[in-house]
Amino acid sequence: MREHFAYVQGMWTRLEERAGIAVVNPTDERVIGVAAAGSANDVTRAVRAASRAFREWAGLPVAERAEFLRAIADGLQDRIDEIAALITAEVGTPLAISQRIQAGLPIASFRAAADLVGEVEWSAELGNSLVLKEPLGVVGAITPWNYPLHQVAAKVSAALAAGCTVVVKPSELAPFSALLLAEVADEVGLPPGVLNVVPGDGITGEALVAHELVDVVSFTGSPATGRRIGELAARAPKPVLLELGGKSASVLLDGLSEETEQAALADAVKSCLLNSGQTCTALTRLVVPRDRLDAALSTVGDLMDQYPAGDPTEPTTKLGPLVSQRQYDSVIAHIESAIDSGAKLAHGGPVRYPELPRGYFVRPTVLVAGSSADPIAREEVFGPVLTVLAHDGEDDAVRIANDSEYGLSGAVWSEDRDRAIAVARRIRAGQIDICGGKFNPLAPFGGVKRSGFGRELGSYGIEEFLHTKSLQC
């Protein structure tokens, strides 16, 4: 059983000031370890360590920082099976997906940061000015549980590449993969204080955000917590990068061939059910031509039946549990409230699988909303729930897609690629897939509106941890 340690100043420290937090396997509801609950004093030690390490780390040649990032990527690659199994135990992601995404993407993030940091324009002449890019300083990174190592790696790799030092507060529901990253960083000889990991809860996170030596905060999580972080950071003030979720629409335009329509519906279902719906970019709104609504519902129901739920360590399982009892209760409440409010239940529902009496399993569910104003068409459920809406033409489809407080991602399908791009330009979101376009880990990732601001991944993620200085000569 894993225990409650933190990694500070290149050393492993057992935290005793506050009681540890039990980490539960969502498949069998058994405790797999006890995570630290870092106190304000623990956070202060970590932030001071990062502050002391900053000047030397920022002063290293870019090529040397890149070599450390490559070494970390290699170390994670050597432990990819362990990482995948650990996150499957923490979160419930089916093992095959854990290996490809939960373990694979963090490795890609470190390699990409190492490759791209050399392309940063660190200085440029502008008239009589010398314009410089410099690291912001100490980064406070607060990360979620749904992709626990990927979200840590996206922030840490970019921040370290930029020359910043980092204190990570991972989610109390899935903290152990962040500590595994610290193990790898320690093994490759990353200088003490450059990366620090202090597990904990909201108390830990607030102490990190408010600390006077933290120069910038990067957060991924709920809008409510994001607002609180913004309030605390504004007192300094200090910059904040926020990624706060979404309610993304997959828009099917009229005139689709049968083949394209089938591909679009399969893509929407796959996206909606990835990681049991616990994905911020999940396509959880399906917007279809009104005359194709019944056909789409029939197809979507058949597709969802192809995602068997069960033990995520089994190769046949495509749908694991939700992460916690609290998340299970929240998703069930959303489904029941939608039905009570008049939404049509087209598939699934709030009934447990009789063959899965333990674990936080929710059936893939399809609800038909009468309007984009319905709560189920507006609220982020964060579970395997797809809301279907009918549109009456291209302008109406765009209206529905934009009728949301969120703006993280989306998709547009048309037989005419140029038409799809034109419609995508009208949709307010940070990234939109065109006719099945695949995820690009080098492209900027982030949202607008209630989905937050700032960008992660690729060179764009590195730029977020730099500030611009001008010297007039």
Query: Given the DSSP bridges, would you call strands 283-289 and 385-391 parallel, antiparallel or unpaired?
Result: parallel
Spatial separation of the C-alpha atoms in residues 208 and 34, rounded to whole Å: 21
Spatial separation of the C-alpha atoms in residues 435 and 430, rounded to whole Å: 17
Say which amino acid occupies 313: T
Residue 461 tokens, joined: 């993620």
Spatial separation of the C-alpha atoms in residues 186 and 183, rounded to whole Å: 5
Spatial separation of the C-alpha atoms in residues 406 and 418, rounded to whole Å: 25
Which candidate, 245, 251, 256, places its Cα nearest to that of 378? 245
Which candidate, 401, 400, 405, 399, places its Cα nearest to that of 449? 405
H or E element that contains 252:
strand 248-252
Catalytic-labelled residue, pool 90, 172, 206, 243: 243
Catalytic-labelled residue, pool 272, 280, 380, 463: 280
Cis-peptide, bond into residue 375, ω within 30° of zero: no
Q: Which residues pair with 138 in a beta bridge?
A: 165
- Are residues 407 and 428 in contact, defined by beta-carbon separation less than 8 angstroms? yes
- What Cα–Cα distance (Å) separates residue 352 from each residue in 249, 262, 384, 391? 27, 29, 13, 32
243 included as an active-site residue: yes
CA R_g for the chain: 22
Spatial separation of the C-alpha atoms in residues 154 and 174, rounded to whole Å: 16
Residue 224 tokens, joined: 């409510």
29 included as an active-site residue: no
Spatial separation of the C-alpha atoms in residues 43 and 195, rounded to whole Å: 13
- Are residues 167 and 59 in contact, defined by beta-carbon separation less than 8 angstroms? no
Which sequence positions are flagged as catalytic?
243, 280
